[in-house]
Amino acid sequence: MSFRRAARAALAARSRAYWMLVVTTLVLAGLSASCGNSSHSSSASHNAYVTFPTKGSVALLHLNNSTGALSLGAQTPSVLGTSPTGLALDSGKKFLYVGNTDPNAKSMSIFSVGGDGTLTQNGQATVIGASPRAMAIDASGKYLLITTNFTNQILVFSLDSGTGAMTLVDSLPTNSSPNELKIAPTRNFVYVSNSDAALITGFSLDSATGHLTPISSPFPAGAGVSGLAIDPGSNYLYAANASEDTISAYSINSATGALSPIPGSPYFLATAAVPRAIAIDPSGAFLYVANQGGNNVSAFTITAATGQLTAITGSPFSAGTGPLFVLAEPAGKFIYVGNQGSTNVSGYSYDSKTGVLTAISGSPFSIGSAPGAMVITH
């Protein structure tokens, strides 16, 4: 009997040891998977694209979801005599449209976007007969609108969702020196800044046909008006007046698209600030201005009920040399500024309650060439 009891005890001990080994293995495997997922999550990124006018190419940028840091990816082959500057990404993130501003090019390059974000040009560039300047795709994703240098036009192209091909559907005059182009996010109103004329020209876009109808405009702006921005609710429009160092603010009539100056507008920045571009964060609470002359970024809170601006504590914030554009990351965490003079991009996180900017670790991020424009996937 004692032999049987000893045998049973030994068997039970082996069984316990076996199950302890199984449990330990599963726990370690779980920890390993957890650590692996954590590492992957911290390095997860989405893409952005930046044009290099002097190099004649477009570069892929990787934007770290957690830190906001930028890293330079693959670049398209350099094509001399193109000067790619403006760009627009279709809503399906399948095609990137790039405007070749060189007077001898007068064309648009269409790139297919690969699963890893790399770009492949779809055949030869599409000649449009004018030098493209600014561009935007409407909320439906059906139309690409482009302002042109020298010919003072706005062109509307329908977009083939399968191939990305462009077909001209409308063309209208825009008054002299068209610069920036913005489409109201929730309404089909289109606005163009006319720098030399100190005006903003407005249109209504027919979402069924792509045809434009002029709004009872133009609307007075400041001297050298350049960058435009519209809040997410399409209630307010803001314009950067580069020659006056001011920001003009307007309310948008929801029925007609007409612009009316907001009390307190224009807002003075600083002497020789030379504001060039404006961005509004996705919440519509904060407005940021790239000051090309001041080498900094001005920041304001937007009063939701009135559209009036209030300077944020600490503004302006330091940037690189010759800031040319500013844009807000669609997830609402980061702000980026393209510095033409120092050939880099400054990155900032911002406080969701105050709008205060804090430079991202590693900023500014070297990109090797003067940037023309930038777009972030969303």
Nearest of 126, 229, 253 to residue 181 by alpha carbon:
229
Q: Is residue 337 part of a domain?
A: no
Q: What is the pLDDT of residues 50-68, one digit of tens each?
A: 999 999 999 999 999 999 9
Mean pLDDT of the chain: 90
Q: What is the pLDDT of residues 154-168, one digit of tens each?
A: 999 999 999 999 999
Q: Is residue 343 part of a domain?
A: no
pLDDT value of position 26: 36
pLDDT value of position 28: 37
Give dist(CA 64, CA 48) in Å, integer: 11
Nearest of 336, 343, 296 to residue 53 by alpha carbon:
343
Q: What is the pLDDT of residues 245-259, one digit of tens each?
A: 999 999 999 999 999
Instruction: Give the domain extent around 9.
Output: 1-42
Give dist(CA 200, CA 180) in Å, integer: 10
Local confidence band at 111 (pLDDT 50, 70, 90 cut-offs): very high
pLDDT exceeds 90 at position 202 = yes
pLDDT value of position 38: 36
Q: What is the pLDDT of residues 116-149, one digit of tens each?
A: 999 999 999 999 999 999 999 999 999 999 999 9
Indicate the DSSP class of residue 128: -
pLDDT exceeds 90 at position 32 = no
pLDDT exceeds 50 at position 242 = yes
pTM above 0.95, yes or no: no
pLDDT value of position 43: 62
Local confidence band at 378 (pLDDT 50, 70, 90 cut-offs): confident
Write out the E strands in 53-188: 57-64, 70-75, 84-89, 95-100, 107-113, 119-121, 126-127, 131-137, 143-149, 153-159, 166-173, 178-183
Q: Is residue 223 part of a domain?
A: no
The residue with greater pLDDT, 34 or 70, is 70
Q: Is residue 7 part of a domain?
A: yes
Q: Is residue 18 part of a domain?
A: yes
Q: What is the pLDDT of residues 269-308, one digit of tens each?
A: 999 999 999 999 999 999 999 999 999 999 999 999 999 9
Write out the E strands in 174-295: 178-183, 189-194, 199-205, 212-214, 219-220, 225-230, 236-241, 246-252, 259-261, 267-268, 275-280, 286-291
Give dist(CA 139, CA 314) in Å, integer: 35
pLDDT value of position 298: 98
pLDDT value of position 217: 76
Q: Is residue 36 part of a domain?
A: yes
Give dist(CA 200, CA 190) in Å, integer: 10
Give dist(CA 137, CA 108) in Å, integer: 14
Average pLDDT over residues 99-108: 95
Gyration radius of the chain over CA positions: 26
DSSP secondary structure of 18-69: HHHHHHHHHHHHHHHHHHHHHHHHHH-EEEEEEEETTTTEEEEEEEETTT--
pLDDT exceeds 60 at position 10 = no
Q: Is residue 301 part of a domain?
A: no
* Main-chain phi, psi angles of 37, to 5 degrees: -65, -40
| Counted domains in the chain | 1
Q: Is residue 34 part of a domain?
A: yes
The residue with greater pLDDT, 270 or 25, is 270
pLDDT exceeds 70 at position 5 = no
The b-or-e profile of 161-192 (16+ CB within 10 A means b, else e) is eeebebeebbbbebbebbbbbbbbeebbbbbb
pLDDT value of position 49: 98
pLDDT value of position 216: 87
